[in-house]
Structure 1
């Protein structure tokens, strides 16, 4: 639908969430469509009914460069004759009221909440953005809402029937035209955020007559819905967190330190006092396992509503090992909870679209979920953040923070790695085609920062278990930059562009420089950090004649260290893949499954239901950046390897690799052509394999059994 708003409307006065209403006449309702962009977030009603089941729409962008509208078929909400449309706006990222260390409260796009709306039927415009037909108020029940602080709601201020015909809006004001947000207006094509699951507490502990703590048994993103009974004016406060103090209260200290104003993750509900009242916030979301409910009112019930991008499930695996299955569930829950419109690092402490986290977990996302369109729209936001020099920030969206700290080639690689993965998993090359020129600008920018064909900017192997033993940043950043040049060379050739040879030559210069500085001979790189050896193999830095020695060295170091992951987030992807590619699949599997600190299973045995942000778990306990373990299992245990020569699995060679720790394994993945399933089972001294592929897809089974 072509959406060209006449006016953007907002409230004349600052206050709580602004409410808008407009009555109109419709001769017919067949084929009626409504298009709306409401910033930061909106809820739209027709004749008293909320339109659709989206929440937290539209998905955040750099609004001064791009904003998105959503189109609804609304025939079922209308009736011939008189109708009423209502809109409520929340601040979201657009009018970011809480101060934080990332400076979103000083974003160039920041302005009062506003919306643009068209309601059309049969080519006729029923409602437009002209202010004359609209009325608005800021005296509604949502008295405060903020992305990171929370939402405050006073039920005594509710306006019954405000979005229905005949409501008395004589005290409301005429809205005012406001400047457009400044960016391109385009339709949102990513699946929206929705309430995807309702979770009841696994425990509800009363700490006092006025305090209870609900444990939902899983770390999630979203909010709580409460049913309470009390006197008019009584207030209930909801505080959300993922840990508890020893006395049982919710501990938010480790997730609130970056929010500089107001209380982080706190909702407040003031009762109207007429029996059982039910409420949940609309214009905020939180990351939590626990919710502390404080107040005099009687708590009838509390549930958690798990909110995330509503992409479809696209894959899973299972085995007889309960802890491997639990690890897979933790990865999936981490990916869901860290994708609320955009992919980010954690749903509580930051809610930022970190590029490093996203690229490291992208293949896991594509194995498990139909996440391609969501990643594509986020990449558009990352491209909008690119400076004319080619520089990229470490987070997207960004409002000035993250360019000179927090980025670097391993993070910036999201701009290259994700388009290639989307191509391999879906067959679509439109993402790299759209962003190819931006990729060239970035590579030129990074080359300008090189010394002797190497670069040394970036965070490196972040969240290593021992900061004194991190692989050199110059090595990891240069390896990723070399990889990005190689990917861009592939894109150039697929697009019929002429830059491929230059990009390959640049990559070869970097490879030579890495070997000259960090290759010690005999398969040794840098100081034999696991990450350095892993990246030397997966990024094809090691000379052909030394690859076997490097892999043997890496496997020996892993074994000598008790299969403990002495690496950070870069190593968590590179090391297990390097081992498996060299035939040490069982060694890599034992890295994932050993139960001591540091390790993935150690997290689970501490009660984790999602992946932690570092090995000791004293910061965030819902991060996805260590999540490549799931993609590894699809690729090596299940044998699902996306082939760039046959993108979208138009032809597939399956290479499952059984490990002695498992008696059986089975997985499936839904490709653009249909479902691929692979299973294997040990029977006696042999393995039986079972494979199913879509009709018409050429396939080969090449199991790798030791």
Structure 2
């Protein structure tokens, strides 16, 4: 009998598994090149082998890592073999194999056991490669041209330089990875061929401290005999004033190194590295502008300076000069986020000739990215391109490019190292009307992957959702989110609050936000720069308004230092890691940022008196809400009590969030301290700012009500009254309209989403009159504006201000909600259709590819009840929450759904993995 049981078990284990591991990632990335994480984390999701089955789970995994594909195909984990690990974890699996070697490719795959112990097929093979893992591994030298930027010029005075190196190879190499870090953008060419589809590399970085290197596999582009590698540098961030530092010139510079291996060789045949033996020559391209606010300019291409075969062996090197060596003190680390790429193509909808001889091109949509424009004329003719967000203006924010026609009499302007932003292009100097076919545009952004689809019955809500997503994409070039792509290009912490959860619910942003948090760590200890950014005394001074510069202070932007803000700008260092942890189950992001969080809160402690945060810094260092309706007329940068109240509530929100982080990490002493401080500060806020007569705070604004509630400032006994006062403020006092700005709006929408107050959010997003998103639509917007008002000059029409509804469409309207108690991302999640009537929204459907798998919902509400379809991915569970009136009579045919009682007016149902259709015959009153 024992033998029979053993045989039966063995046969069962050999049966088809219910799941297959798919979507393999390393440090959130797909087959990344050149990472420098010594213990990279591996992850996958599971695909059901039978879409009609239920309850699929992972009970164990086995990972194999090998140094060659052949070894892995033979199921040999020569670098790491985990054996069978009994766990349902499938994300953030720490590598614990042999110490990683630099410049090495690793191959890996995973198999899992399902809920019945059946072993799955192996996943497809995934890879990662390592970069240079130790500072001493760099043998190269920083080089560039000897042309130095002069900030007194109206436009940049230096050309974007070419650099080249020729060398010989005896045979076709088997392996050749080149590691390139640059201050300023770069492009790489090998024997005339551009390598990779990334553009405007590397990601934006604090170049006072760090430079990020990008890894390129160039083996296939090399050949036996003579070869040439060419680097083209773009000025860009190399002349950004806040990045001025000793030893680092104001000119683009680069360091590059490649070990080139022949077949089966253990040592490189050639070690290629940048040094003074490289040659340099000015390219025909140069920056227009000076990379400062309102002076980002564009690019000038002078075709008369083109050189044939400049990036090939055939180039004439007689006019090239030796490169200049430089010695900046910069930490070199791998770029571990997606590269920038050219994305959506945009074509003109109209080209109009104007009486002054210019031509006006309407691209149909406001966008940030590249343009390519074919032109012809006489040699030496200069054709100018001006970019504008506003139909009545030829140029906004000084964005312009130009092309000088060469001897051929024709050519094409195309961006390389700068980008424009706008909808309209004014072309001057052209003597004929261009064809729409001569003009193309592209969105350029960090190439993270989309995660979500969404649609609902309300066309305005669909418009808002789509415009919010389009705006977010246009703001995320360079591994961080800018406030606006045309005027400043700064990474504001306050704007990050307004965008980050929208980003996380719509895109795969684990690597993107991990990189941005490193940027925040890099800038801690330096205050923000407001003023002339080329004044180095401003750039990194050791004083803030005459006081000692505390090590915990944060500038209001990262990695860019510049700009104004307040406590809720620097406080992103607490909120963003917590949101990412909740979204992804990523404990490491909390560990890496804990010291920064502790130092930030310690800095705020130095600015408190009697448990209240006092105004500190200069006039731009203590902002509260920003750009609420009518704010510019009222005055935003003020000393009013409303600002002090909001910033104190925000400090409490920071303290409570930090305490949660400390609890997760087992740092209970810090947690107790911060919880106590939050309680003392809440008591002080209530004593000073609470208005007992109407249960409001300070000026009774939405911003202060939301900030107090989100921070749990009101005592439990009065919370409901304060929430009712907020409801009154929205529905009665403001007639259903929003009346907050960037900071207050982020807090308001976060609060209402957490509270499930879809009715209040719907009221604000459904208005078609000022202020609101519907007002933007009615006024022809194609992107979300900086201000609720359109026509105030100098303000952006493509901005991060009001993107916070983007998260609500997924976790509110679609009902896909994080379980705040999970700790493992979306391994367990909540489905709660919105509390809206059928006359408001009658249906919605969405898919969300979480890190745990793809979740789908589709619901339809009629007068007779609700129908809800849910897909729970393998290895996940869900709790469906329906109002008790709808949950009383629910039909579901699979038999796998279990009723789990009621809570807070909802009936709860537990769903294991599978596809479900629930029908209720009752609707909410």
**Equivalent residue in structure 1 for 2:227, among 58, 64, 83:** 83
**Equivalent residue in structure 2 for 1:118, among 252, 257, 279:** 257
Cα distance change on mapping 1:595 and 1:130 into 2, 3 Å = closer
**Equivalent residue in structure 2 for 1:695, among 874, 884, 889:** 874
Q: Deviations over 1:542-598 (max 9, x none)?
A: 221112212222212212221111222233233345445556422321111111101
Q: Distance in 2 between matches of 1:525 and 1:352?
A: 32
Q: Distance in 2 between matches of 1:5 and 1:683?
A: 70
SS in 1 for 2:552: coil
Say yes or no: does 1:316 pair with 2:450.
Answer: no
Q: Distance in 2 between matches of 1:511 and 1:570?
A: 20
SS in 1 for 2:368: strand
**Equivalent residue in structure 2 for 1:278, among 393, 396, 412:** 412
**Paired residues for 1:168-207 under 5 Å:** 168-180=316-328, 182-207=329-354
How far has the Cα of 1:23 moved from its partner?
1.0
How far has the Cα of 1:411 moved from its partner?
1.0
Which residue in 2 is equivalent to 1:596? 769
Which residue in 1 is equivalent to 2:560? 398
Which residue in 2 is equivalent to 1:430? 588
Given that 1:28 and 1:121 are in contact with CA atoms closer than 8 Å, whether structure 2 keeps it comes out as no
Q: Distance in 2 between matches of 1:515 and 1:304?
A: 54
Query: Following superposition, which runs of at least 4 residues in structure 1 exceed 6 angstroms of deviation?
Result: none
**Equivalent residue in structure 2 for 1:328, among 461, 465, 469:** 465
Q: Distance in 2 between matches of 1:583 and 1:114?
A: 52
Say yes or no: does 1:18 pair with 2:194.
Answer: no
Given that 1:5 and 1:116 are in contact with CA atoms closer than 8 Å, whether structure 2 keeps it comes out as no
**Equivalent residue in structure 2 for 1:162, among 295, 304, 310:** 310
SS in 2 for 1:340: coil
Q: Distance in 2 between matches of 1:144 and 1:639?
A: 47
Could you state the TM-score of these two structures normalised by the residue count of structure 1?
0.92
Given that 1:17 and 1:145 are in contact with CA atoms closer than 8 Å, whether structure 2 keeps it comes out as no
Say yes or no: does 1:520 pair with 2:691.
Answer: yes
How far has the Cα of 1:390 moved from its partner?
0.8
Q: Deviations over 1:445-471 (max 9, x none)?
A: 111101221224421110011345987
Given that 1:21 and 1:163 are in contact with CA atoms closer than 8 Å, whether structure 2 keeps it comes out as yes
**Equivalent residue in structure 2 for 1:648, among 825, 845, 855:** 825
Can you give the 5+ residue segments of structure 1 that lack an aligned partner in the other structure? 97-102, 257-263
Which residue in 2 is equivalent to 1:250? 394
Which residue in 1 is equivalent to 2:746? 573
**Paired residues for 1:165-564 under 5 Å:** 165-180=313-328, 182-208=329-355, 210-245=357-392, 249-252=393-396, 256=397, 264-274=398-408, 276-298=410-432, 299-300=434-435, 301-341=438-478, 342-387=480-525, 388-399=550-561, 401-402=562-563, 406-457=564-615, 458-467=622-631, 468=634, 472-497=642-667, 498-521=669-692, 523-560=695-732, 561-564=734-737
How far has the Cα of 1:308 moved from its partner?
0.9
Which residue in 2 is equivalent to 1:141? 284
Which residue in 2 is equivalent to 1:260? none
**Paired residues for 1:671-690 under 5 Å:** 671-690=850-869
Q: Distance in 1 between matches of 2:270 and 2:872?
A: 50
How far has the Cα of 1:107 moved from its partner?
6.3
SS in 2 for 1:17: strand
Q: Deviations over 1:231-257 (max 9, x none)?
A: 211111111120022xxx5242xxx3x
How far has the Cα of 1:676 moved from its partner?
0.7
Q: Distance in 2 between matches of 1:131 and 1:156?
A: 30
Given that 2:256 and 2:274 are in contact with CA atoms closer than 8 Å, whether structure 1 keeps it comes out as no
How far has the Cα of 1:41 moved from its partner?
0.7
Q: Distance in 1 between matches of 2:690 and 2:600?
A: 27
How far has the Cα of 1:125 moved from its partner?
6.0
Say yes or no: does 1:614 pair with 2:787.
Answer: yes
Given that 1:118 and 1:125 are in contact with CA atoms closer than 8 Å, whether structure 2 keeps it comes out as no
How many residues align? The count is 681
SS in 1 for 2:159: coil
Q: Deviations over 1:307-340 (max 9, x none)?
A: 1111100113211211111101111111111111
Alignment RMSD (CA, Å): 2.0
Given that 2:756 and 2:834 are in contact with CA atoms closer than 8 Å, whether structure 1 keeps it comes out as no
Q: Which moved more, 1:378-387 or 1:570-579?
A: 570-579
Q: Distance in 2 between matches of 1:19 and 1:328?
A: 43
Could you state the TM-score of these two structures normalised by the residue count of structure 2?
0.71
**Equivalent residue in structure 2 for 1:664, among 843, 846, 852:** 843
Q: Distance in 1 between matches of 2:181 and 2:492?
A: 25
**Equivalent residue in structure 2 for 1:55, among 199, 205, 210:** 199
Cα distance change on mapping 1:579 and 1:416 into 2, 3 Å = closer
Which residue in 2 is equivalent to 1:636? 812
Can you give the 5+ residue segments of structure 2 that lack an aligned partner in the other structure? 1-130, 149-157, 262-266, 526-549, 616-621, 887-923
Cα distance change on mapping 1:105 and 1:699 into 2, 3 Å = closer
Q: Which has the higher contact order (CA 8 A, sep 6+)?
A: 1
Q: Distance in 1 between matches of 2:557 and 2:551?
A: 17
Given that 2:758 and 2:834 are in contact with CA atoms closer than 8 Å, whether structure 1 keeps it comes out as yes
How far has the Cα of 1:51 moved from its partner?
0.9
Which residue in 2 is equivalent to 1:45? 189
Given that 1:145 and 1:284 are in contact with CA atoms closer than 8 Å, whether structure 2 keeps it comes out as no
Greater radius of gyration (CA): 2
Say yes or no: does 1:64 pair with 2:208.
Answer: yes
